[in-house]
Amino acid sequence: MRSFIPTEGYSGSAFASPRQRSKTVLVNGGAGFLGSHLCERLLERGHQVICLDNFYTGRRVNIEHLLQNARFQLLEHDVRQPYEVEASIIFNFASPASPPDYQRDPVGTLLTNVLGAVNTLDAARRSGATVVQSSTSEVYGDPHENPQRESYFGNVNPIGPRGCYDEGKRSAETLFFDYHRKYGVDIKVGRIFNTYGPRMRLDDGRVVSNFIVQALSNTDITIYGDGRQTRSFCYVDDLVGGFLRFADAGEHCIGPINLGNPAEITVRDLAEIVLDLTNSRSRIIYLPAVADDPQQRRPDISKARKELNWWPTTELKTGLTRTIAYFDKLLAGKEVAEAV
């Protein structure tokens, strides 16, 4: 695929603040959960947005409402194949993120992360773009440190069922820093901790969507293991706000930086909150634990506070209430991508 799109020059919109120059921004994985929210926020800022996606887990409905915007362009492409694009910034969000999604095609997942990084960094090198990588808390594996700081090297099982994703993301980080050191590519790397919100799929398989869908349909809430494992859940708007800070930063290497909400909660407590917020009649059932499931996960976000002046502001119950409203409509058969 070759796409030659002017890097600068769009005259801006009413939404762009005077400080923000309009840019051409490529969002790989832009039809997915996080990517579609990011595309929307970039358009609101007056940028030209190119959404690149192969629709492995992304959905057209997530971006349908953006297609009529003259500043939005959709390119169906697989990041495992080389591409060229003229853009000021590339956000590389192309990768399945839910364990069932990435374990369905483990080899494809690893290659998406490794070849996707190479092809994206090569495209950036040719066009002079800044590249922002969506890395993950999974680089810490099942951590022996809590909270996790960026300096922690992690505890990943390279040959387990999560390895395709964890090692793919770790390799991608290595490639980002090598392209920066060797070729001077301007890079930013954000390590995303569990993020939830509207536009997750009904069958996404991650814990927040599973519990909400189960609670709303009064079917059993499935806890894997004893439910004492912890996660720290970040609402999508907060997370995307963190990535926009990368776009605002100058041309210097930033990261890796943890982006997430430090409020840690057990999976069992999450189930109780969802039951409460939905007035559900669902029962909680306990299923066998999944292999290599991290037992604790909580970001130390002092680096994000200091370097990006960023921290999340959405309380878990507030974010869950919005997400429940979204799934409620989805279960009622309404398309809600535009409204969220």
Catalytic-residue membership of 152 = no
169 in Cβ contact with 192 (< 8 Å): no
Our CB check for ligand UDP shows the closer of 25 and 200 to be 200
Site pattern 114..143 for ligand NAD (x: CB under 6 A): --x-----------------x-x-------
Nearer to ligand UDP, 20 or 219 (CB): 219
> Exposed, middle or buried by CB within 10 Å (0-12, 13-18, 19+), for 328?
middle
Q: How far apart are CA 258 and CA 202, in angstroms?
A: 27
Least Å distance between CB 217 and ligand NAD?
A: 22
- Whether omega before 312 lies within 30 degrees of 0, making that bond cis, reads no
Is the Cβ of residue 36 or residue 282 nearer to ligand NAD in the bound state?
36
**Residue selected from 112, 127, 261, 280 as contacting ligand NAD according to rule CB under 6 A:** 112
The verdict on 29 binding ligand NAD (CB under 6 A) reads: yes
Pick from 218, 224, 305, 296: nearest CA to 264: 296
- Examine residue 79 and tell whether it contacts ligand NAD (CB under 6 A): yes
Question: Does 194 engage in binding with ligand NAD (CB under 6 A)?
Answer: yes
34 binds, among ligand UDP, ligand NAD, none (CB under 5 to 8 A by kind): ligand NAD
Tell me how far, at minimum, the Cβ of 332 lies from ligand NAD, in Å: 22
> Which residues are CB-neighbours of 15 under 8 A, at least 6 positions away?
43, 44, 45, 46
Residue with tokens 């943890």: 258
Of 22, 57, 278, 296, the one binding ligand NAD by CB under 6 A: 57
For residues 180 and 260, what is the distance between their CA atoms, to the nearest angstrom?
25
Q: Closest Cα to residue 26, out of 116, 80, 76, 86?
A: 86
- Pick 46 or 308: Cβ nearer ligand NAD: 308
Report d(CA 150, CA 116) in Å as an integer.
23
Name residues whose C-beta falls within 8 Å of residue 198's C-beta, 6 or more positions apart in sequence: 236, 322, 323, 326, 336, 340
Cα separations (Å) of 213 from 108, 272, 329, 332? 28, 14, 11, 12
Q: Which of 39, 49, 56, 214 binds ligand NAD (CB under 6 A)?
A: 56
Cα-based distances in Å from 123 to 86, 129, 272, 335:
8, 8, 46, 35
Choosing from 24, 27, 35, 117, the residue that interacts with ligand NAD (CB under 6 A) is 35
Contacting positions for ligand UDP (CB under 6 A):
99, 194, 206-207, 210, 222-224, 229, 231, 267, 290, 293
Q: Using CB distances below 5 to 8 A depending on partner kind, what does residue 66 bind out of ligand NAD, ligand UDP, none?
A: none
- Nearer Cβ to ligand UDP, position 170 or 206? 206
**Residue 96 contact partner, candidates ligand NAD, ligand UDP, none, CB within 5 to 8 A by sort of partner:** ligand NAD
DSSP 163-219: HHHHHHHHHHHHHHHHHHHHH---EEEEEE--EE-TT--TT--SHHHHHHHHHHTTP
Nearer to ligand UDP (CB atom), residue 207 or residue 215:
207
**Contact range with ligand NAD by CB under 6 A, out of 89-97, 153-161, 266-274, 298-306:** 89-97
From 56, 102, 140, 165, active-site residue: 165
Binding flag, residue 54, ligand NAD (CB under 6 A): yes
Q: Are 231 and 271 in contact (CB under 8 A)?
A: no
Q: Which residues bind ligand NAD (CB under 6 A)?
A: 29, 31-35, 53-58, 78-80, 93-97, 101, 112, 116, 134, 136, 192, 194-195
Active centre residues (catalytic): 165
